[in-house]
Copies of this chain bind each other. A is one copy, B any other.
Amino acid sequence: MAISSDMIKDCPYFTVQKVLAGKWSLLILHFLSEETLRFNELQRKLDNLTHATLAKQLKALEKSGLIVRTEFAQIPPKVEYSLSDLGRKLQPSLDSLFEWGQEYLKYSSSKN
């Protein structure tokens, strides 16, 4: 259903929308673009986010191939997340969106 046949394959916009669907995707990608982070470090940066929710988002991003999960076999467990090549390629777009977001905020605050 939704968009049939060709479009779903041909349309990059659709892909983008799918990948960025996660409510926290942008934030996560942003933080990971600055540095590789462990699960808990990431969670601390994203306050107000339970570990279950974060886990789901990370899993989704990993499945999309945007981030890389590296597990260290040790006690206590340690897992690091970083951007994949694909994720790194997205960064310019991210920066661009970030700037636009600032414009938007500026605009709407002057509007009120």
Given A48-B2, A100-B93, A107-B65; A17-B25 close (CB under 8 Å):
yes
Contact of A3 among B2, B48, B105 (CB under 8 A): B48
Query: Which residues of B have CB within 8 Å of A99?
Result: 12, 93
Instruction: Kindly report which residue of chain B lies nearest to residue A84, judged by CB atoms.
Output: B107
Name the residue of chain B whose CB is nearest to the CB of A25: B17
| Total identical chains | 2
Residue contact B13 to A30, C-beta cutoff 8 Å: yes
Closest chain B residue to A8, Cβ basis:
B48
* Chain A residues proximal to chain B, CB less than 8 Å: 1-4, 7, 9, 11-17, 19-20, 23, 25-27, 30, 47-49, 65, 86, 89-90, 92-93, 96-105, 107-108, 111
